[in-house]
Structure 1
Amino acid sequence: MPSEIASLTLPLFVPGDRADRFAKAAAAGPDAVIVDLEDAVAPEAKQPARAALAEGLSTMPTGMPVLLRINAAGTQWHEADLAAAARLPLAAVLLPKAESADDLRRVAGRCGCPVVALIETAAGLHRAVEIAGASARLAFGSIDFAADLAMGHTRQSLLAARSTLVMAARLAGQPAPIDGVTTAIHDAERIADDCAHAVELGFSGKLLIHPAQIAPARRGFAPTQAEIDWAARVLAATKDGAATRVDGAMVDAPVIRRAGQIMARRPAPAERSDTCP
Structure 2
Amino acid sequence: MTEATATSTHHLARARSFLFVPATRPERFAKALASGADAVIIDLEDAVAPADKDAARHALLLAMLSLNPAQRGRLLVRINAAATPWHAGDLACVREWVTQGLGAVMVPKAESVAGLADVARAAGPCALLPLIESVAGLDAATTLAACPQVLRLAFGHLDFQADAGLACAADESELVPVRLALVLASRRAALPAPVDGISPGTQDTVQLASDAARGRRGGFGGKLCIHPAQVAVVNAAFTPSATEIDWAQRVVAGFAAAGGGVFSLDGRMVDAPVMLLAQRTLAHRRDDNQAG
TM-score (norm 1): 0.92
CA distance in 1, matches of 2:188, 2:18: 24
Indicate whether 1:150 and 2:168 are aligned. no
Instruction: State the distance in 2 between where 1:197 and 1:175 align.
Output: 17
Cα distance per residue 1:131-165 (max 9 Å; x no partner): 11112210000111111112124420111110000
Cα offset for 1:67? 0.6
Residues 197/126 of structure 1: CA separation in 2 closer, same or farther (3 Å cut): same
Counterparts of 1:45-194 in structure 2 under 5 Å? Answer: 45-64=52-71, 65-88=74-97, 89=100, 90-112=102-124, 113-134=126-147, 135-153=150-168, 154-194=171-211
Residues 16, 234 of structure 2: 8 Å contact kept: no
> In the aligned structure 2, how far is the partner of 1:177 from the partner of 1:138?
5
Structure 2 letter corresponding to 1:128: A
Distance in 1 (CA, whole Å) between partners of 2:165 and 2:253 is 50
Distance, in Å, in 2 between the alignment partners of 1:143 and 1:176 is 20
Cα deviation code 1:24-57 (max 9, x no counterpart): 1111121111100000111111111112211122
Q: Which residue number corresponds to residue 230 of structure 2? A: 213
Of the candidates 256, 261, 267, which is equivalent to residue 280 of structure 2? Answer: 261
Q: In 1, Cα distance between the equivalents of 2:132 and 2:22? A: 20
- Contiguous gaps of at least 5 residues in structure 2: 1-6
CA contact (8 A) 2:78 2:106 kept: yes
User: Which AA in structure 2 matches 1:50?
Assistant: R
Aligned to 1:241: 260
Identity of aligned residues (%): 45
* CA deviation vs aligned residue, 1:115-142 (integer Å, no higher than 9, x gap): 1100000000011000111122100001
Deviations 1:233-269 (A, max 9, x none): 2222111322111122211111111112222333317
SS at match of 2:273: helix
Higher relative contact order (CA 8 A, sep 6+): 2
Match of 2:29 among 19, 22, 30: 22
Instruction: Determine the C-alpha separation between the residues in 2 that align with 1:247 and 1:265.
Output: 23
Per the alignment, do residues 184 and 60 of structure 1 end up closer, same or farther by CA in structure 2, a change over 3 Å counting?
Answer: farther
Q: Whole-Å Cα distance in 2 between the matches of residues 11 and 166 of structure 1? A: 18
Q: 2:192 is aligned with what amino acid?
A: P
What secondary structure sits across from 2:225 in the alignment?
coil
Residue 232 of structure 1 and its aligned partner are, at CA, apart by 2.7
SS of aligned partner of 1:268: coil
TM superposition shift of 1:270 = 5.5
Asked if the contact 1:95/1:115 (under 8 Å) is kept, the reply is yes
Once residues 74 and 45 of structure 1 are traced to their aligned partners in structure 2, the CA distance between those partners, rounded to angstroms, is 18
- Structure 1: state its 5+ residue gaps: 272-277
Q: TM-score, normalized by length of structure 2?
A: 0.88
**Which amino acid in structure 1 is aligned with residue 275 of structure 2?**
I
User: Equivalent residue of 1:190, what SS?
Assistant: helix
Distance 2:152 2:140 in 1: 14
Does the CA-based 8 Å contact 2:36-2:289 persist in structure 1? no
Question: Could you report, residue by residue, the CA deviation over 1:177-232 in whole angstroms, capped at 9, with x for unpaired residues?
Answer: 11111112122232222212111111111111111111111111123444333323
User: Aligned partners of 1:269, 1:74: CA distance in 2, in Å?
Assistant: 39
Equivalent-residue separation in structure 1 for 2:281 and 2:104 (angstroms): 28
**Matched position secondary structure for 2:198:** coil
Match of 2:270 among 248, 251, 254: 251
Higher alpha-carbon deviation: 60-69 or 99-108 = 60-69
